[in-house]
Chains A and B, each alone.
Chain A
Amino acid sequence: MSEAQAPETETETEAADTTQRRSAFGRLIRDPQAVITATILVVIVLLGLLAPLLAQHDPNESALSAVNADPGTPGYLLGGDQSGRDIFARLLYSINTSVLSGLIGTSVAVAVGLTFGLIGGYFGGRTRFATEWLFNLIMTFPGLLLLIVLLPVTGGDFRATMLIFGVLLAPGVYRIVRNLTVGARNELYVDAARVSGLSSPRILRRQVMPTVRGPVIISAAFLTGSAIGVQSGLAFLGLGSTEVPSFGAMIADGFRNYYVDPLQFVWPAAFLGVLTSALVLFGNSLRDALAGARPKAQKIAAPSVQAGSPASRGEAGEALVQIEGLSLSYPTPSGGVKEVLSGVSLAIRPGETLGLVGESGSGKSQTAFSVLGLLPPDAVITSGSIRLEGRELLGLRERELIQVRGRAIAYVPQEPMSNLDPSFTIGAQLVEGIRATSGLPRAAAGKRALELLDHVGIPDPKRVFSSYPHQISGGMAQRVLIAGAVASRPRLLIADEPTTALDVTIQAEILDLLRDLQAEMGMAILMVTHNFGVVADICDRIAVMQQGRIVETGEVEAVFRDPQHPYTRMLLDSILDESHVRTDSPVLVAPGAEGPR
């Protein structure tokens, strides 16, 4: 499956990387949303910082002459409020209050959450239990209410209130950091760091921190917004010092004065709205940039045939499946098109086993999925044709394809476990498949499923029938999937690396099973694999793929004996078989210790 999602070759990886290498910052400044919101934020903060220069009045200075003054009154750009204070000045100073609130709340939340998250995530056992318990406790506190109750303690100072609010916000950061740290803890690079003798604090700082940094920065943007919101909310309720200019307090004043001058309430509300929404939108851009979310590839069309299929050559009558000149492309994020199959032609004869061999990224799975009609929606078939017994499969509607899939063509995947639904029993999943393809009633389908399980060499079909996938081994699971695939006696079985995830002893058994089933049912098998041993074991013919092209096709014995294409030769030479036995003696660096063997 991995190949289906990431069809890329070595060279293509490198090409893609040059675009990817652009740093997070580079991506950020190319995002118009980030640039606009960041500019707004900077302007707002600057306005606040320059308040003493820009405003002509102290925010708390009241003048009788300015009571409810109209906007544009000399010295009162936006007018005066009901106490005769300069609205413009109060707005500018309120910015500082909001920014300070956001900074205090966020830094406390990040400092507390990050520290404990790293500790709780990295060290298991009691340490994690203790931190978990502590932060669960904090989460149960009703935030706003607690801040109000604690007003006598904080003395109404918004800075002290925000300090406490920061602690209340910390569990959010803690959870993010803890989860990421637990994840990183299980990564091999942390093991490698431990093997290198790095101390735990150093591992946390050098290895784990970089992976948690991004998400923490993103959440900090949102936390700042919520800290500002809470501070304004408390001020709106009239809690805290009246001396401190604040958007919340201004909105409350404006409300009271609504019938005299509705604009008085609009100014602070607009400022607060712009400030918090800019923060949230900036946070979103930040997430896209840091988390490396690529812009969505432009969807040209659902798997579509762009070019008309070439005229049939007439030889199709002999083949069960005839692929001709199949080219397949994926749109790339940069707007270009990446071709993963370039004119693949392939014939599968009835009853034969064809090995489709290649390295990762060669397009072998893409070819198989094209035949199944199971390509991702952004795949574009640019030319070619796929005919099953003379019938063109490309361009069929999904409803028509369903008639083909699971009946004429069946599929056995690479990862047996991930292709069984863990929440249903084996039996239920088999019965569903059988009923979908054969229309048998439930009881009959159940009986058929048991027969099939027995048929694929499962020792105790009844037990397996009522088991859940996690209760059986990987080899058993593959037998179950094969049972489901052959239920409808398909004419073609597409097996995509069916034994790669299995041990060799089980691989041998599964290959035996496929061989037996083929002899019995006369189906053709398209065996997608990278393993030449598997090809030698089960295949009649072989097709070698390299970078989206078929470079060589032939009878297995002939190709193994005398490969024609240099790539096939190179692959065959890379195989470590019996002739590659190490015979030289152990190397001795310490002289004198050498002895005859």
Chain B
Amino acid sequence: MTATAPLLEIDDLRVAFPGRGFRARPIEVLHGVSLTLGEGEVLGLVGESGSGKTTIGRATLGLVAASGGTIRFQGEDITHAGTAQRRALARDIQVVFQDPYSSLNPALTIEDILSEPLIVQGVTARDARARVLGLLDKVELPKDAGQRLPREFSGGQRQRVAIARALAPGPKLIICDEPVSALDLSTQALVLELLMDIQRETGVSYLFISHDLGVVRHVSHRVAVIYQGDIVETGRAATVTSTPDHPYTRRLLLASPVADPVEQRRRREERHRMALLADGGTPAGQQGDPAGEHDDPNQVSGAVAGWPGPAIRPEA
């Protein structure tokens, strides 16, 4: 129940990757994930490494194939979109990747990188060039940046180029896959500010994928928490990131260190208390909290099951 019309509806999405070795069984990394994202909304998707958060984004972009479920964009089923449909979708769905080094072709100038998607959409080369100037301005890069190569820019500047590329066709949805986690603290704040300014200005929706609760809390209207291929909690950003219902979210919250020595000490003690409680609640609980190691999913559910409270909060 969101306040806005759904732009993206992911329903019971499953993704499996082929197992390693001959006739190995496929490994399912998403076990029926459902999400909705409204127009002009930012949905934060938080999870740890291997949780499948990136896979949700890649499936939406058509970079990995879904093995079950549906992805709808503006009501249209795009789960198994073909080349032609994808090309049309490229106008509406764009992406900003995590790694600003690998996401820009080192051999192309910034202008080529930015005009390529426009030319594919049928814009003439001259118009594309003019639009590139506007895009560079939008992401606060100097006008002469177009003639330079990616390696001449710092990580933050490259990420601005990647954002400009995503903005080029005027999309309705941008998948932001850890867009600031490779950046320095001060750069990170500036790039986030830019992303939010653009979002407020253009009303584009973000599916904002990150491992960092702080970042997600900062940019998202709503937050979904994913754990080992399942969404465990969804709700308003302020609620989920301050008074979470699900034990995993709580654990995640307590584990994220805050830059305040006094508050951090309080948190640490609370975390230790929780760990003791978990050990008492589940005989299987082991020393050193192996739950976090992801080695055995059963172990983790065991530890998590020790906690009361509904698994999924009805969306407010």
Contact = CB atoms under 8 A, between A and B. Distances in A.
B257 A537 contact: yes
Contacts of A509: 288-289, 292
B292 A533 contact: no
B128 interface: no
A39 interface: no
Interface string A553-597: 000110010000000001111111110111111111110010111
Chain B interface size band reads: 35 or more
Contacts of A508: 254-255, 257, 268, 271
B259 A10 contact: no
Nearest to A596: B3
B228 interface: no
A574 B189 contact: yes
Contact of A557 (B90, B97, B261, B294): B261
Nearest to A473: B293
A131 to B, nearest CB: 21
A557 B151 CA distance: 39
The 4 closest A-B pairs by CB, nearest first: A533-B257, A197-B90, A210-B107, A457-B288
A198 B165 CA distance: 13
A451 to B, nearest CB: 15
Interface stretch (A45-53, A183-191, A484-492): A183-191
Contact of B105 (A194, A207, A504, A581): A207
Interface stretch (B24-32, B210-218, B306-314): B210-218
A53 B52 CA distance: 73
Contacts of B39: 586, 588-590, 593
A457 B221 contact: no
Given A504-B48, A533-B256, A572-B259, A585 B221 contact: yes
Contacts of B218: 576, 580-582
Interface string A467-502: 000000101100000000000000000000000000
Interface in A181-231: 187-189, 191-199, 202, 206-207, 210-211, 213
A586 B87 contact: no
7 contacts: A188-B102, A195-B95, A197-B117, A576-B212, A582-B42, A586-B41, A593-B4
A587 B203 contact: yes
B261 A199 contact: no
Interface string A505-542: 11111011100000000000000001111111100000
Nearest to B121: A197
Interface string B81-123: 0010011111101110101001111111000110011001100
Nearest to B299: A459
Nearest to B107: A210
B241 interface: yes
A537 B199 CA distance: 34
The CB with the most chain B CB atoms within 10 A, among A187, A213, A572, is that of A187
A20 interface: yes
B120 A202 contact: yes
A269 interface: no
B214 A580 contact: yes
Contacts of A10: 154
A397 B105 CA distance: 45
Contact of B94 (A195, A536, A590): A195
Interface in A319-343: none
Contacts of A359: 184-187
A324 to B, nearest CB: 28
Nearest to B99: A188
A482 to B, nearest CB: 12
Contact of B49 (A503, A532, A560): A503
B125 interface: no
B287 interface: yes
Interface string B287-304: 111111111000000000
Contacts of A590: 5, 39
B255 A533 contact: no
B302 to A, nearest CB: 14
A525 to B, nearest CB: 16
Interface of B: 2-5, 38-42, 48-49, 61-63, 83, 86-91, 93-95, 97, 99, 102-108, 112-113, 116-117, 120-121, 148-149, 151-152, 154-155, 162, 165, 169, 184-189, 192, 196, 199-200, 202-203, 205, 211-215, 217-221, 237-238, 241-242, 251-252, 254-264, 268, 271-272, 286-295
A580 B217 contact: yes
Contacts of B108: 206-207, 210
B262 to A, nearest CB: 7
A21 B189 contact: no
B259 A196 contact: no
B102 A595 contact: no
A459 B154 contact: no
A277 interface: no
B152 A21 contact: yes
A102 B295 CA distance: 58
The CB with the most chain B CB atoms within 10 A, among A14, A476, A578, is that of A578
Contacts of B106: 211
A188 B161 CA distance: 14
Given A556-B261, A588-B40, 6 more contacts: A195-B63, A196-B94, A202-B120, A503-B49, A506-B293, A578-B242
Contacts of B83: 199
A20 to B, nearest CB: 7
Interface in A11-59: 13-14, 17, 20-21
A458 interface: yes
Given A509-B289, A574-B189, A586-B40, A534 B257 contact: yes
A189 B97 CA distance: 9
Contacts of A197: 86-91, 117, 120-121
B264 A533 contact: yes
A437 interface: no
